[in-house]
Amino acid sequence: MQPEGLNVIQSNGSAATQTVNHLHVHVLPRWANDAVLDFWPTPNPTWSTAELDAMRSALDAAVATSKPAGYDMTSEQDREDRRKHVDLISAAIARMAASSAAAKGWSVTLAGAAFGVALVRDSWPFIALGILVLVSFAALDARYLNAERRARKVYNSIADDNTVVPLSMKGLATEGRPSRWWWPNHFRNWSIWLFYAPLAVVGGVLLVIALIAGPEAQPADTKSPTETHSQKP
């Protein structure tokens, strides 16, 4: 048909010209100056600002109350969806926990290597590099743990309270990041302080000792030149 335009109309109620009480959708091809009457409201409605605000508030309230409060445990399909939802959140929790453990492992490996090179080469910048590695992985680990805490809250909402939207993953996302998102809430965790803080303290002590001691003095060249005596026969 290749129409110039298209209307998709779904009518509910006799006032909206619905004649048969079932769900149906009209797909109406349109051309300029066709026989379809202009049924849209005038560009300048007669509603006041207060009336429009009241309509918007009523619509917001209707949308809020229409959201499902949780799973219907009397429905077999809802029980199956709830089980799948719990599996999804459990998988997210496992991924965050594994990522946190990997961050701890890599921090020890890289920081330990930097401290070892510093001791062998007597170079304090490698100690500072090791401390920087620990701080960076601590920040990354804190983010993983915070995401894991959010996932556990969603899990509790599903398993205990049954107050979530079915199959929704919304609670896992970071919403409304504050201006100082990195401090201090994400670091208030015992697994962060008790793991990274002692390692950072050791690195700090090594750094102070290295700076106080300074570069090790190079031994003087004590090798004496070989004296040759020429003897005549």
| 12-22 pLDDT, tens digit each | 888 888 888 88
Q: Identify the structural domains of the chain with CATH numbers, from first to last.
A: 5-66 (3.30.428.10), 76-213 (no CATH)
Contact yes or no for 67/165 (Cβ under 8 A): yes
- What's the whole-model pTM score? 0.57
Of the two residues 71 and 170, the one the predictor is more confident about is 71
Of the two residues 226 and 97, the one the predictor is more confident about is 97
pLDDT at 175: 47
Residue 84: CB partners within 8 Å, gap ≥ 6?
Answer: 167
Query: Residue 162 region, left (φ>0) first, then alpha (ψ -120 to 50), else beta?
Result: left
Contact yes or no for 10/26 (Cβ under 8 A): yes
**Position 136 confidence tier, pLDDT thresholds 50, 70, 90:** very high
pLDDT at 118: 87
Residue 97 has pLDDT above 70, yes or no: yes
Residue 150 has pLDDT above 50, yes or no: yes
Comparing CA positions, the residue from 119, 115, 118, 117 lying closest to residue 130 is 115
| Structure-token pair, residue 26 | 């009209």
Mean pLDDT of the chain: 81
Whether residue 184 is preceded by a cis peptide bond, meaning omega within 30 degrees of 0, is: yes
pLDDT at 179: 46
**Position 192 confidence tier, pLDDT thresholds 50, 70, 90:** confident
Neighbours of 82 (CB within 10 A): 21
pLDDT at 122: 83
**Position 162 confidence tier, pLDDT thresholds 50, 70, 90:** confident
In the predicted model, what is the mean pLDDT of residues 143-161?
Answer: 87
